[in-house]
Structure 1
Amino acid sequence: MTSARERLNRMRSEGASQEEAFALFDSLEAADSPGMLDLWRGSEIATGHPLEGLLTVSGWYGKQFDSAEHVHPLVFQKKNGDLYAVNPIWIPMNLPFDKIPRGPIRPAMTLARPFVRTRKSAARLRQIEYRGTVSAAMVYDHKDIIDVFRKVDEDTRFAVMDVKSLNSDKSYFFVLERMRGKAFRP
């Protein structure tokens, strides 16, 4: 029998269909909100979603959960390794993401950094029912986005982004890995 960790690692290296990703997601136990508090490094799972690749090439690092009321949903990393939080209000969700060239994204983020950077949290952590399971979820303050988490192990979460306004029949999947002792101050 293949473990959830092995299935996830295969998906990270080879990609997966939406059905395979949801099958793994649905098989995992619920994540609890207190277990989310920390800095997490993120990575995408390729399943054919139009957003794939944009976060990675933009310098996305992950997410930081300071408390149930204070979450930094978009933490980015500069080339020198420093981390900073971005206010998601500046990211439009109604673009044809699959048609955006990936090459200019990182330089554009560098230029935009002074305008999109924030010290304020931009999301909250809640327990929400999704696909029949109540689990930890991050609710954006000013976007119609909810990221729902399931527990792979103590330091790994498998997640799906649920976006009401995104014109896609596909879901965006990603992985978060806990970075113990590496929290940053926005």
Structure 2
Amino acid sequence: MPRLQQWAEQGWTAEAGLAFFDSLPAVRPEDMTGEWRGSELPSGHPLDGLLAAYGWYGKRFTDRDRVDPLLFMDSGAVRAVDPARLPLGLALALPRIARTSAAQGLFRLLLPVLATDRPTARLRSMEHRGLISAAMIYDDQPIIDHFRRVDEDRLLGLMDLRPTPAPFFFLLTRTTASGRSAAS
């Protein structure tokens, strides 16, 4: 079983995830243009499973200064959500409530209010864990997502969220780039 599939199905410790992350090469911000489908990689982080439960789709990188860091499915369409409008601290403080169907239903109802047409993050090259690679810096949240290349159409992401001590891991798979469909 490939390592990423094993991680997705069985979960890894944060230490194992970091070791794998550290083994991967850097990716340049300009190589990330396009839309990417996201999936979570469980590692015992308080957010494990939460994004998927709320319908997280992925991320969109238009250029270095125009990034949609949170895309969600809404009635069959992909919608960008403003991370500043999300009660992330509340979800971390009250994880049982955040995981209820009532909270998820409320999120669905509020999606039009949470949505945005403006970019809410940017891409830069940044050193993290000894390697300079692409990083996505959120405009209004204490979050930096660091990326490493798995292959041409997949990236491993590590979300560094203050104040959580361990990273949250996710995989991005390219769906479009420069107007083309990614190879399957």
Alignment of 1:67-82 (within 5 A): 67-78=63-74, 80-82=75-77
- Matched letter for residue 111 of structure 2: R
C-alpha deviation, 1:99, in angstroms: 2.7
Deviations 1:59-97 (A, max 9, x none): 11000000000000000012x321110011011332225
Indicate which of 85, 88, 104 corresponds to 1:90. Answer: 85
RMSD: 1.7
Residue 142 of structure 1 aligns to a residue whose secondary structure is: coil
C-alpha deviation, 1:9, in angstroms: 1.6
4+ residue segments displaced more than 4 Å: none
Matched, 1:57 2:53: yes
Separation (CA, whole Å) in 1 of partners of 2:94 and 2:11: 19
- Matched letter for residue 24 of structure 2: L
| Identical positions, percent | 41
Alignment of 1:59-138 (within 5 A): 59-78=55-74, 80-95=75-90, 96-100=93-97, 101-138=99-136
Q: TM-score, normalised by structure 2?
A: 0.90
Separation (CA, whole Å) in 2 of partners of 1:29 and 1:22: 13
Partner residue in 2 for 1:41? 37
Residue 108 of structure 2 aligns to a residue whose secondary structure is: helix
Please list every run of 5 or more consecutive structure 1 residues that lacks an aligned counterpart in the other structure: none
C-alpha deviation, 1:123, in angstroms: 0.3
Partner residue in 1 for 2:170? 174
C-alpha deviation, 1:16, in angstroms: 0.5
C-alpha deviation, 1:163, in angstroms: 1.3
Please list every run of 5 or more consecutive structure 2 residues that lacks an aligned counterpart in the other structure: none
Confirm or deny: 8 A CA contact 1:58 1:105 kept in the other structure.
Answer: no
Matched, 1:9 2:40: no
Residue 87 of structure 2 aligns to a residue whose secondary structure is: coil
